[in-house]
Amino acid sequence: MSRRVSVRDLRYRTAGIVAAVKAGERLELTVNRTPVADIVPHAAQRSPWVPRAFVERIIAEAPADPGLLDDLAEVRGELLDDW
């Protein structure tokens, strides 16, 4: 459960609140005791996209199992409900 922090507390104790978030604490910001926002630690996000050359190198270094196509041929056409 996150700690509740009022807008007034945020205004007067900004440095302490920012320090708590920086330390990993999640806070719930309230206005008149009503939650209006979550203050959470920043999490850097990595782009899901990678250069084509990178993917090609992975495929070249670790190709699929030679028997994969045979395994897929066995289950082709079957429904998941059949399992």
Q: What residues does each domain of the chain span? A: 3-39
Q: Provide the whole-model pTM.
A: 0.54
Residue with tokens 């070249």: 60
Q: How confident is the model at residue 79 (pLDDT cuts 50, 70, 90)?
A: low
pLDDT tens digits, one per residue of 19-40: 999 999 999 999 999 999 999 9
Residue 40, helix vs strand vs coil:
coil
**CB-CB neighbours of 26 under 10 Å:** 13
Mean pLDDT value across residues 65-79:
78
By CB neighbour count within 10 A (0-12 exposed, 13-18 middle, 19+ buried), where does 5 fall? buried
The architecture of the domain spanning 3-39 is 3-Layer(aba) Sandwich (3.40)
Mean pLDDT value across residues 56-64:
85
**pLDDT at res. 24:** 93
